[in-house]
Chain A
Amino acid sequence: MIDQLDDIEARVSAALDGTADLEQLEEWRRATIGRKGEVQLLTRRMGEIEPADRPAFGKRINEIKTSLQAAFDARQEALRRAAAQVDDDADRLDVTLPGRRPSLGGLHPSTLVMRRIERIFGDMGFQTYRSPDVVTDQLNFGDLNMPPDHPARDMQDTFYTTDPSVVLRTHTSGGQILAMQEQHPAPVRVILPGMCYRNEQITSRSEIQFHQIEGLAVGPAITFADLKGTLTEFARRLFGEGRGARFRASYFPFTEPSAEMDIACFLCDGEGCQLCKETGWLEILGCGMVHPTVLRNGGYDPEKWSGFAFGMGPERIAMLRHGIRDIRYFWSNDLRFLRQFQRFV
């Protein structure tokens, strides 16, 4: 009987070697070392063995079981590994075919630029304040120190409505008055974004509507030096470290002193090129100290309060920043233009 064990081991081992996949291997396991398998069942035949031989028989069976188990484990590992092998040649992909992209949406460039500007000023404590597009002539001009027949009215071509006292705002500056009147007598720090309108010929360089972002700070001790510091910091954050900025004198009826802020040209870094019309500088925003009359119209005594204001055009900034040559792209809503801003970072 003991002699037969060697034969059994040899046969079963051979069968193990003959298994081709994990399925056959499992079949083999059930038939041999499984709970009801041939090898397990050998133990039951102990009764047929001479009592003296039983220890040796038992020991031999255990040896066989151990060795088969080990062989099984090895075989299983080998077959698993083989099964995990894939045939790269048979189902190779052309990895250069286009990927399947989800259809993405995106925001309009004006929204993107305005948000960025508003965030920078938001960090400095300037909150967004909104005001209407259709306003009285008084709010758009009169309250801003531009009475009728003021020469500065020539600087802006105004859309009048059929009621001559009502205009489409030519700038967001009128909102300054509303913000001051509302927040008086607290100090003010606001940003006023909004659509503005001017009666111009629509060309690649001028539009009848455009956004403007106005800023206003009013407090007991605000200086022109603060204006410079605040806007220089703004320029640093919007245009990056090391981009030169300069302030030069200018004129707005609602500020005194008034200034224009230029930044060094993106394209030529100040050397002079077509973009900056050979000046090396790009005009970015107008600003100044709030005119005493305007402060008074907002409810603040110019003897005790001072403030600065500034205004800029997000579309102009976007044009300079992104090399947009034609302002008409902004409201033409051509997806071939708008989609490019899905890459705006």
Chain B
Amino acid sequence: MRVPLNWLGDFVEVDGSPDELAELLTNAGLEVKAIERFGFAGAELPWPADLVMAAKILRVDRVPDADRLVLATVDYGADSTRQVITGAPNLFPYLGQDLGDADLWGALLLAGASYRNPYRDLKITRLKPKKLRGITSDAMLCSAVELGVGEDHEGIILFEPADELPALEPGRPLTEVLGDAVLDIDVIPNIARCASIMGVAREVAALTGAEFRPPAVPLTMDGPPIEGRVEVTTENPELNPRFVALLIEGIEQGASPYWMQHRLQLAGQRPISNVVDISNYVMLEVGQPNHTFDYDLLRQRADRYAGDGPVRIVTRLAREHERLTTLDGAERELRTNQIMVTDPAGSLSVGGVMGGRDSEIGPETRNVLLEAAAWERRGIRRTQRQLGVHTEAGFRFSRGVHPSQALLGARRAAELLRLHAGGTIAQGIIDHYPQQAPRVTVDFDLGYLRRLSGLDLDAAETADLLRRLEFGVDAATDSGPLRVTVPDHRLDIEGQHDLVEEVCRIYGYDRIPSTVLSDVLPPQRGNREQSFEDRVKDTLADLGLQEIVSYRLTTPEAEAKLQLEEAEPPPYVRLANPSTQDRIVMRRSLLASVLEAAASNGRFEDRLALFEVGRVFPVEEGDSLPEERERAAVVLTGPRRSSHWQAAENPDDCFDFFDMKGVVETVVDRIGLQVEFAPPEGASAATPFRAGRSATVVLAGGGEPVGLLGEMHPTVAANFDLEPAAGSPVLAAELDLDRILERIPESLQVEPVPVYPEVREDLALIVDEATPAASVEAALLKAGKPLLCAVELFDVFRGEAIGDGSKSLAYHLAFRAPNRTLRDRDTKKLRRRILGQVERSVGARLRE
């Protein structure tokens, strides 16, 4: 809502600078997004007081040999008059006239001042004296465009004295006449009443303590009575509680007075004609949207359905398949929950939203039926959404306009039509208001105010703050609640809590004390999932991986890249109204997210070590709500070490399976769990990884796998546009953190530091190639119990000496007894036992 301060000044005294006012309003919930100045310092185009001024036009004369130019003689407050050459078409009607008594004024700009040049893309240009047809021209009469106050360049600004303008004197600086500052206020839903100059004025009055001056709405009604000529019926008072109609006859269409055009332009409305401008002006001023019908058209329709009977306006729900061509030329099919203004011949307008083309004002219109009605806000919101139409009227009605405003708006508009469009108002107002909106009263408990706000105000102070906003407050006593009556322009007050806000707002949020929470501290619970996830993230970052965060919205196709073969896509949580076609479902895979990120960064670097911890949203067929699971995904590819000038690039030193495995082992170890890896089996073998270079992750102790890791299948890597150099595989892992969390031990148990030294021995075993190293290690540990305390693989060897189909695994073994120092003969005995047992269990023999 753009609020020109001069217009605001009609209703409330505005002291202080626009900045101060803006701050006051912003703090009270009317956020001023911008202040735009016109003419004054700080404006894009300032008007110097001695160079831009009001000038009275005295004569308009022909310029010899020039058909398109006239010479205006103006009084601008100097000792002598001045002659100004202009091509303004709106001065031509005055050619040859002495205008001394006409009181016609223009905006004079003298050489040295700047204006917006319409012939140079509105560039700000300084006026220089020049000679035209032998006459020196060193001044101009400006159009709205040239002064930066509007878009009109059809003619120059011409205005007459008006109540809405300050007193005019020749030479009075133009800033004092047309200069202004406009506050652009963000009208959030609870201040819908401030989508009007009057609404903002009420707030200013409440905040500054100045008096709010409601508009006087006198009405001169001297035309033939409306009664018997127009009838109004409302079939759905719950959707259309009030309907006010006035008949104005004999209007003459033309331009509205300049002061009105000026205000409308500053408020962001383009002036069109007096009838349209007045309708807009009243909507902006009072906040009451209104509509004008061509009465003669309505009459013609009535001739058909009523003969001599009256025009019958009926508001009712749209009928099945009813259609209406609206003002914007669109033919719309209406729904049966939309309320319409109709007559027996058909529909006339979409109530509260948009008028119909057939009954709209045309250039020939002389007689006007003015409508100002109240519409229930939810209905209007629904209609606007269903029709996809958003109008200024719909904006206001959908946020709520109190029915009491309808009569005020109607009176104001009718009187303005009389004054500025030459109409005569028919006697009588049709005010169809079957059920008056109830007066809302609220019992306001001061204890509640204190308890909620922390403010200690007594009854008198509270009542004063409320009265400033025009709330009625019965004689305030400190015992018992205040009885508060809500003023009849407000729809947003439902209970005490709303009054708390009003009191705090007007008192000033900044004046409310700041206190430390002294309330009971609730039982402290901690968040295990969160600390566990933090631990996982920290570990991965410590390991040299960079965290990423991806869109949780994706496409089934993007995730299908993980499939080696085409398959039916799984069910997804799917958007009904996606904003872009590449974000239409909630992801099921975190792996796809990290691979996408790897690919997009792969353009810049070869070495990538990334991870993401986040949610995936698998959903069962037919379900609407997914199971939200926390996962971690890791991707590694490229050189193991970042490049350095000293190290000869070793292309073979790339991340491999065991780097990925080491990452997973470390993550799991750091949360106190042990993990086992096994080649994927059965259905889970159909993974995006190479079958022989991937493993499922199972927590020690068994159970469902908690993850999968391995070398990406080259086809899958290529699907993601990941094509690293030869010899550099893409490694990835995905872990189900929810499943891991269930198994985290409550606390870490510490073992005592050993007292007796350990004895180390090496042992090389030859086993069948197919025997997993893990089972050899397990066999060793089992055989060596309880004195064998550690087994570390230090070499894997294959070669002729071993023979085809076999491999040699070399281990460091460490033995220790809890209560004595082991001697040679102890370890010799153990070694024999171990060898015997591992031969039996895994077919291992000693490599001599």
Say whether A111 faces chain B, with CB atoms less than 8 Å apart. yes
Q: Mark A60-101, 1 if CB is under 8 A from B, else 0.
A: 000000000000000000000000000000000000011011
* Cα-based distance from A336 to B597 in the complex (angstroms): 12
Asked whether B527 lies within 8 Å of A130 as measured between CB atoms, the reply is: yes
Asked whether B573 lies within 8 Å of A161 as measured between CB atoms, the reply is: yes
Q: How many residues of B contact A (CB 8 A)?
A: 99
Separation in Å of the A191 CB from the closest CB of chain B?
A: 9
Separation in Å of the B277 CB from the closest CB of chain A?
A: 28
Asked whether A107 lies within 8 Å of B399 as measured between CB atoms, the reply is: no
* Cα-based distance from A37 to B377 in the complex (angstroms): 117
* Cα-based distance from A22 to B495 in the complex (angstroms): 99
* Cα-based distance from A183 to B29 in the complex (angstroms): 33
Say whether A171 faces chain B, with CB atoms less than 8 Å apart. no
Asked whether B537 lies within 8 Å of A111 as measured between CB atoms, the reply is: yes
* Cα-based distance from A260 to B597 in the complex (angstroms): 36
Say whether A134 faces chain B, with CB atoms less than 8 Å apart. yes
A168: chain B residues within 8 A (beta carbon): 575, 586
B518: chain A residues within 8 A (beta carbon): 221, 226
Say whether A29 faces chain B, with CB atoms less than 8 Å apart. no
A336: chain B residues within 8 A (beta carbon): 604
With contacts A130-B529, A251-B188, A256-B501 known, is A331 near B519, CB below 8 A? no
Say whether B17 faces chain A, with CB atoms less than 8 Å apart. no
Given A135, A159, A163, A258, which contacts B578 in the complex, CB threshold below 8 Å?
A159
Interface residues of A in 248-272 (CB under 8 A from B): 248-251, 253, 256-260
Asked whether A100 lies within 8 Å of B646 as measured between CB atoms, the reply is: yes
Q: Mark A234-245, 1 if CB is under 8 A from B, else 0.
A: 000000000000
Asked whether A130 lies within 8 Å of B519 as measured between CB atoms, the reply is: no
Interface residues of A in 203-251 (CB under 8 A from B): 208-209, 217, 219-226, 228-230, 232-233, 246-251
B580: chain A residues within 8 A (beta carbon): 202, 208
* Cα-based distance from A136 to B514 in the complex (angstroms): 36
Asked whether B548 lies within 8 Å of A333 as measured between CB atoms, the reply is: yes
Asked whether A104 lies within 8 Å of B544 as measured between CB atoms, the reply is: yes
Asked whether A127 lies within 8 Å of B525 as measured between CB atoms, the reply is: yes
Identify which of A11-19, A146-154, A319-327 touches chain B: A146-154
Say whether B545 faces chain A, with CB atoms less than 8 Å apart. yes
Say whether B703 faces chain A, with CB atoms less than 8 Å apart. no
Interface residues of B in 536-552 (CB under 8 A from A): 537-538, 540-552
Asked whether A258 lies within 8 Å of B540 as measured between CB atoms, the reply is: no
A110: chain B residues within 8 A (beta carbon): 549
Say whether B581 faces chain A, with CB atoms less than 8 Å apart. no
Separation in Å of the B182 CB from the closest CB of chain A?
A: 15
Say whether B454 faces chain A, with CB atoms less than 8 Å apart. yes
Asked whether A331 lies within 8 Å of B551 as measured between CB atoms, the reply is: yes
B547: chain A residues within 8 A (beta carbon): 105-108, 111, 338
Say whether A102 faces chain B, with CB atoms less than 8 Å apart. yes
Asked whether B624 lies within 8 Å of A223 as measured between CB atoms, the reply is: no
Given B514, B538, B646, which contacts A228 in the complex, CB threshold below 8 Å?
B514
* Cα-based distance from A168 to B626 in the complex (angstroms): 11
Separation in Å of the A325 CB from the closest CB of chain B?
A: 19
Q: Mark B537-574, 1 if CB is under 8 A from A, else 0.
A: 11011111111111111000000000000000000011
Identify which of B476-484, B503-511, B676-684, B756-764 touches chain A: B503-511
With contacts A125-B521, A208-B583, A228-B513 known, is A257 near B504, CB below 8 A? yes
Asked whether A225 lies within 8 Å of B515 as measured between CB atoms, the reply is: yes
Say whether B435 faces chain A, with CB atoms less than 8 Å apart. no
Identify which of A2-10, A49-57, A192-200 touches chain B: A192-200
Given A108, A165, A219, A248, which contacts B27 in the complex, CB threshold below 8 Å?
A248
With contacts A208-B583, A333-B601 known, is A250 near B29, CB below 8 A? yes
Asked whether A223 lies within 8 Å of B577 as measured between CB atoms, the reply is: no
Say whether B726 faces chain A, with CB atoms less than 8 Å apart. no
- B26 closest partner in A (C-beta): A248
* Cα-based distance from A246 to B543 in the complex (angstroms): 43
- B579 closest partner in A (C-beta): A199
With contacts A159-B578, A161-B624, A224-B453 known, is A151 near B399, CB below 8 A? yes
Asked whether B617 lies within 8 Å of A134 as measured between CB atoms, the reply is: yes
With contacts A165-B624, A247-B510, A256-B497 known, is A226 near B586, CB below 8 A? no
Asked whether B453 lies within 8 Å of A257 as measured between CB atoms, the reply is: yes
Say whether B190 faces chain A, with CB atoms less than 8 Å apart. yes
Interface residues of B in 244-273 (CB under 8 A from A): none
Asked whether A105 lies within 8 Å of B540 as measured between CB atoms, the reply is: yes
Given B192, B546, B550, which contacts A151 in the complex, CB threshold below 8 Å?
B192
Asked whether B517 lies within 8 Å of A226 as measured between CB atoms, the reply is: yes
* Cα-based distance from A164 to B505 in the complex (angstroms): 38
B542: chain A residues within 8 A (beta carbon): 105
Asked whether B540 lies within 8 Å of A199 as measured between CB atoms, the reply is: no
Identify which of B128-136, B156-164, B296-304, B637-645 touches chain A: B637-645
Interface residues of B in 623-669 (CB under 8 A from A): 624-626, 628, 641-642, 644-646
Say whether A172 faces chain B, with CB atoms less than 8 Å apart. no
* Cα-based distance from A118 to B554 in the complex (angstroms): 29
With contacts A189-B522, A334-B601 known, is A166 near B378, CB below 8 A? no
* Cα-based distance from A230 to B582 in the complex (angstroms): 41
Asked whether B604 lies within 8 Å of A217 as measured between CB atoms, the reply is: no
Separation in Å of the A228 CB from the closest CB of chain B?
A: 4
Say whether B615 faces chain A, with CB atoms less than 8 Å apart. yes
Separation in Å of the B510 CB from the closest CB of chain A?
A: 6
Say whether A306 faces chain B, with CB atoms less than 8 Å apart. yes
Asked whether A220 lies within 8 Å of B519 as measured between CB atoms, the reply is: yes
With contacts A103-B609, A249-B29 known, is A155 near B515, CB below 8 A? no
Given A149, A250, A256, A289, which contacts B381 in the complex, CB threshold below 8 Å?
A149
Separation in Å of the A288 CB from the closest CB of chain B?
A: 8
Interface residues of B in 368-382 (CB under 8 A from A): 377-378, 381-382
Given B512, B527, B544, B601, which contacts A225 in the complex, CB threshold below 8 Å?
B512
With contacts A134-B586, A151-B381, A187-B520 known, is A223 near B451, CB below 8 A? yes
A98: chain B residues within 8 A (beta carbon): 644-645
Say whether B600 faces chain A, with CB atoms less than 8 Å apart. yes
Separation in Å of the B662 CB from the closest CB of chain A?
A: 14
- B500 closest partner in A (C-beta): A257
Asked whether A292 lies within 8 Å of B399 as measured between CB atoms, the reply is: no
With contacts A189-B522, A224-B512, A306-B452 known, is A249 near B501, CB below 8 A? yes
Say whether B709 faces chain A, with CB atoms less than 8 Å apart. no
B31: chain A residues within 8 A (beta carbon): 248, 250, 260
- A125 closest partner in B (C-beta): B521
* Cα-based distance from A125 to B628 in the complex (angstroms): 27
* Cα-based distance from A253 to B526 in the complex (angstroms): 30
Asked whether A130 lies within 8 Å of B524 as measured between CB atoms, the reply is: no
Say whether B747 faces chain A, with CB atoms less than 8 Å apart. no
Asked whether A249 lies within 8 Å of B497 as measured between CB atoms, the reply is: no
* Cα-based distance from A108 to B526 in the complex (angstroms): 23
Asked whether B646 lies within 8 Å of A291 as measured between CB atoms, the reply is: no
Separation in Å of the B619 CB from the closest CB of chain A?
A: 8
Say whether B78 faces chain A, with CB atoms less than 8 Å apart. no
B522: chain A residues within 8 A (beta carbon): 125, 183, 186-189, 219
A115: chain B residues within 8 A (beta carbon): 534
B455: chain A residues within 8 A (beta carbon): 224-225
Asked whether A249 lies within 8 Å of B509 as measured between CB atoms, the reply is: yes
List residues of B whose CB falls within 8 A of some A CB.
26-29, 31, 33-34, 188-192, 377-378, 381-382, 398-400, 451-455, 495, 497-498, 500-501, 504-505, 509-510, 512-527, 529-530, 534, 537-538, 540-553, 573-580, 583, 586, 597, 600-601, 604-605, 607-611, 615, 617, 624-626, 628, 641-642, 644-646
List residues of A whose CB falls within 8 A of some B CB.
97-98, 100-108, 110-111, 115, 124-125, 127-130, 132-136, 149, 151-152, 154-155, 159-166, 168, 183, 186-189, 195, 197, 199-202, 208-209, 217, 219-226, 228-230, 232-233, 246-251, 253, 256-260, 277-279, 289, 291-292, 302, 306, 330-336, 338-339
- Ordered by A's residue number, 8 sampled pairs between the chains whose C-beta atoms are within 8 Å are A127-B525, A134-B573, A135-B625, A155-B188, A249-B501, A257-B505, A331-B550, A331-B551
5 closest Cβ contacts across the A-B interface? A225-B454, A249-B29, A223-B454, A257-B501, A219-B519
